[in-house]
Amino acid sequence: MVKYKTVLTAKQIKKRVKEIGKQISKDYEGKEPVIICMLKGAVYFFADLTKNISIPIKIDFARLSSYRNGTTSGVMEIISNITSNIENKDIIIVEDIVDSGKTLAYFIKLMKEKNPSSIRICAFLDKKERREVDIKVDYVGFDIPCGFVIGYGMDYAEKFRELPYLAEIINPEELDK
């Protein structure tokens, strides 16, 4: 059985998300960015974040699959793309967690083909030590070490997304069994 412990409480998350919302509102003053939610993992972060942004925005959604059923990633494919026209628009891509960086690298390439005027990345969590491709995260909720985390949108084999806090799996040897 998978066991886990809380690493960030709902209260800590709420406070930090509010700060990022404020920062984005300041940085994009006078603009109307298109904020893109990377499904499914970023869904709660995205919902909380956008409610804390005080400038006009547009929202959109994209879903990539890497045929990941446990903790290892595989081939990348777009399952559902954004529908907005982002040509000459400022876009902010919102991710749950940047690990190797491969998911974002793939998505950024797709978005660049649509000629937005700027692209920034906002990630709830950054696992910097695990980076394999060079990705600059402009807004980071929290830097975390290498463990496997669940909750606040993040899953293990589609489970635990609904936890209102972030937890770390303490017996990772149970994963992928």
Residues that bind ligand IMP (CB under 6 A): 41, 73, 95-103, 148-150, 154
102 binds, among Mg ion, ligand IMP, none (CB under 5 to 8 A by kind): ligand IMP
CB of 33 or CB of 101, closer to ligand IMP: 101
Tokens of 46: 């995205």
How do beta strands 58-65 and 77-80 pair? Answer: antiparallel
Rounded to an integer, what distance in angstroms lies between the CA atom of residue 22 and that of residue 9? 20
Q: Which one from 96, 99, 134, 143 is the annotated catalytic residue?
A: 99
Query: Does residue number 153 form part of the binding site for Mg ion (CB under 5 A)?
Result: no
Question: Is the peptide bond between 18 and the residue preceding it cis, with omega within 30 degrees of 0?
Answer: no
Catalytic annotation present for 143: no
What does DSSP assign to residue 35? E
CB of 90 or CB of 96, closer to ligand IMP: 96
Query: Does residue number 41 form part of the binding site for Mg ion (CB under 5 A)?
Result: yes
Catalytic positions are 99
The footprint of Mg ion (CB under 5 A) covers 41
